[in-house]
Amino acid sequence: MNIVKNVVLHYVLGLKNLNKKLNNMENNWEKTNKIYDLSDKGHIYLDSEWNEKFRNETLRLLKEKKIINNDVVDLENLHNHVIDKSLMDYDFGSGVNGITKNLYDLDEEFLKIYKEFIKDLHEKLGFDFYFQDAPTIRVHCPNTKNQNHYPRYHSDCFYGHPPQEINMWFSLTANKDSGFNVLDFDNSKKWYKEVDYNTETFIKKAINSKEFNETGDSLSFKVESNLNNIFLFDSLMIHTNQPRLDDTRVSIDMRINPVDGFVDGYVGAGRMKAEFKPGGKFGYSEKSIKNTI
């Protein structure tokens, strides 16, 4: 399919422009992330009272943006209430739908709660970090156009993110199946080694090969989807979303980068060329959380 070839070309060209730190991924694949101070597994759940707050704020935004009517209270069945059904369809290249794109623009009310969350996170973790200026809200509806984009296993580091980052994911819906699969560090490294640590080869296989992604399914575990915790994991860990079959899942993801291990020079492989540094374009806040409070 021409669309698949174009997607592969887009990512391959981006990857060829990565800096030298990212071209030598094999040497970066070690358990040096700050998260190992919290858990020797490289991933951990933190108890959270913030899921419900962000859930309510997301409902508010969806209503104000007229994506749903004002009487909707159930995000798990959001797909039954979306006014413009085409917003649920994915863009095949990015795996992002129109609802998610509408939620890129967050208002001051939402960001105020986000900053309060970041301060609370700082107290829980006990170390200083840089953080995204705004989180990403993702909406996945069942049985939509181009949902065969998923699964597409990857590590964020394949697309330019620093291995020092800690990924954070938490659900705003209570789903029996989160549809979010993650490989632990050892399985991630083992699978990546099978393609000789060649990022381009891995991405091409993830885009084109059902069998390759089924290998990922067999090696991965499902992250919990509830309103009581936040999942943190090493940014090197390979993961993916899965197509939804029955209900809608809404989630938030964001990244933090510990100050004491920060390394400058990482730039995203995508067209936005995000600069993962304090005050960088599409990067982090200008100040660390300790200097923000």
Asked whether residue 147 is assigned to any structural domain, the reply reads yes
pLDDT of residue 24: 57
Where b means 16+ CB within 10 Å and e means fewer, 113-135 reads ebeebbeebbeebebbbbbbeeb
Asked whether residue 132 is assigned to any structural domain, the reply reads yes
Asked whether residue 216 is assigned to any structural domain, the reply reads yes
Residue with structure tokens 């990022």? 199
pLDDT of residue 25: 67
Asked whether residue 283 is assigned to any structural domain, the reply reads no
| CATH code at position 44 | 2.60.120
143: number of Cβ within 10 Å:
11
Mean pLDDT of 252-272: 93
Asked whether residue 27 is assigned to any structural domain, the reply reads yes
* Cα-Cα end-to-end distance for the chain: 51
Overall number of domains in the chain = 1
Structural domain boundaries enclosing 189: 2-261
Mean pLDDT of 242-248: 96
pLDDT in tens, 42-86: 999 999 999 999 999 999 999 999 999 999 999 999 999 999 999
Give the per-residue SS3 of 11-54. Answer: HHHHHHCCCHHHHCHHHHCCCCCHHHHCCCCCEEEEECCHHHHH
Asked whether residue 135 is assigned to any structural domain, the reply reads yes
Task: Examine the pLDDT at 27 and tell me if it is beyond 80.
Answer: no
Asked whether residue 273 is assigned to any structural domain, the reply reads no
The lowest-confidence range among 104-118, 134-148, 260-274 is 260-274
Q: Which amino acid is at 117?
A: F
pLDDT in tens, 203-213: 999 999 999 99
Asked whether residue 269 is assigned to any structural domain, the reply reads no
Name the helix (H) or strand (E) containing 131.
strand 129-131
Percent of the chain with pLDDT over 90: 86
**Are 134 and 16 contacting, i.e. CB atoms less than 8 angstroms apart?**
no
